[in-house]
Each structure stands twice: as C-alpha cells, then as structure tokens.
Amino acid sequence: MKKLMIAFLISGALAACGGEEKKPAEGKTEEKKEAGTVEVANQKGLELIGASDCTTCHKISEKNIGPAYTDVAAKYENTDANVAILVEKVIKGGQGNWGTVPMTPHPALSKEDATEMVKYILGLKK
C-alpha cells in the first residue's frame, strides 16, 4: 500500500510539473488540454492534496475507499455554496453521500487550504 501511494504521489508530481508553465495568479495555473492529460486549474489545491493524507482514500479518476475526485466533480456543481459545503465535510468528516464508509475529519486543516483543495477537485469536472 505504501509503494502504491508513493507511486501515485510521484506520478501526480510529474504530471503537475509537465508542460509549459505560465505565470500563475495567486497559485493558479492554466495548461492546455492535451490527449491523456488533466488540466490543472488550481496548482495549490493539487499540492495540498498531495501533501495530505487524502490519497490514502481517494484517487483522481477511480474509486478507492472513497469516491474518485472526478466523481465528486461530476456530482457537485462548482458553486460557492457547494464549495462551502464540501469544505465543511473535509474538515468535520462525513458519511452517507457515498455509502456507509465515513470520511475521516481533518480538523487541523485550515478553511483556506480545504477551499483550495475542494476547488481543485471541482475543477476536474469534464
């Protein structure tokens, strides 16, 4: 499991570092979509996810213990109200929206960091 998580983090870091870099505005970058790549609209959110324990339960495009981030993005519109709801779920934990397995609370995570993470996830909507 550790090897899988390390491989996932390394591949995520490599994917995040590829392509031409444009000057970011407040931690945000935009990359052109190319075949087989994911557009990174919020680099800071991606970095925060990679530095946390989120990848223990979640993957970008396939279900693990918790839902895939792309499934979360498909379920929720990227609105301020939904961002606020999901930020509270990340910080306080939750259960019931994706089955019976509860999501672990992350009370040490700041509201600002959780917001960046949720905005990255909702930005994955196709």
The predicted structure's pLDDT at residue 98: 92
Q: Which of these ranges, 3-7, 67-71, 105-109, has the smallest mean pLDDT?
A: 3-7
Domain count for the chain, please give it. Answer: 1
Q: Is 25 helix (H, G, I), strand (E, B) or coil?
A: strand
Which residues constitute the domain of residue 100?
2-122
Span 47-89, pLDDT tens digits: 999 999 999 999 999 999 999 999 999 999 999 999 999 999 9
- Top pLDDT among 125 and 9 is at 125
- Quick one: pLDDT band at residue 126, thresholds 50, 70, 90? confident
Total-model pTM:
0.67
pLDDT of amino acid 42: 78
Extract the tokens encoding 73: 């993005």
How far is residue 121's CA from residue 96's CA, in Å, rounded to a whole number? 19
User: For the chain, what is the mean pLDDT?
Assistant: 78
Percent of the chain with pLDDT over 90: 61
Average pLDDT over residues 95-108: 93
Cβ-based neighbours of 7, under 8 Å, separated by 6 or more: none
Q: For residue 28, give the CATH number of its domain.
A: 1.10.760.10
